[in-house]
Amino acid sequence: MKEANREVLDGGSLPELLAGRARQSSDRRLAADAAIGVVVASALAVLRPPLWFPLAALAATLGAYGAWGILDREVRDAVTPSRTRLLQWARGIVALLGAAAAMTFGLTLFGALLGPIIS
């Protein structure tokens, strides 16, 4: 494990680890993560293969990670206070959507793997 990751895990949390990794990633990588997440989630929603819903939620989580990283960089580069505030709101909304998608992935995968419960 990388030393930087070890320091965050020892003294921080998962959001801090993800934020650090997004800040170290290139712009191209973040844009690719956002695009791939949206395209894969859309394709899964249209094709509906087995376990499509948890997989689409996982792809949406990747897309939100890329979008959050891009918005985080834009917040740092913002010039006016109103633009900074707007970007911070957008970054927060994307973070909430990403967290919701991650929880949806976990819960729907668990439910799909349990299968129908007959009482």
pLDDT tens column, 6-19 = 665 566 788 888 88
Q: What percent of the chain has pLDDT over 70?
A: 91
Tell me: pLDDT of 119 over 60: yes
Q: What is the 3-state secondary structure (H, E, C) of the chain?
A: CCHHHHHHHHHCCHHHHHHHHHHHCCHHHHHHHHHHHHHHHHHHHHHCCCCHHHHHHHHHHHHHHHHHHHHHHHHHHCCCHHHHHHHHHHHHHHHHHHHHHHHHHHHHHHHHHHCCCCC
Selected residue with higher pLDDT from 96 and 79: 96
pLDDT computed for residue 85 by the predictor = 96
pLDDT tens column, 49-89 = 999 999 999 999 999 999 999 999 999 998 899 999 999 99
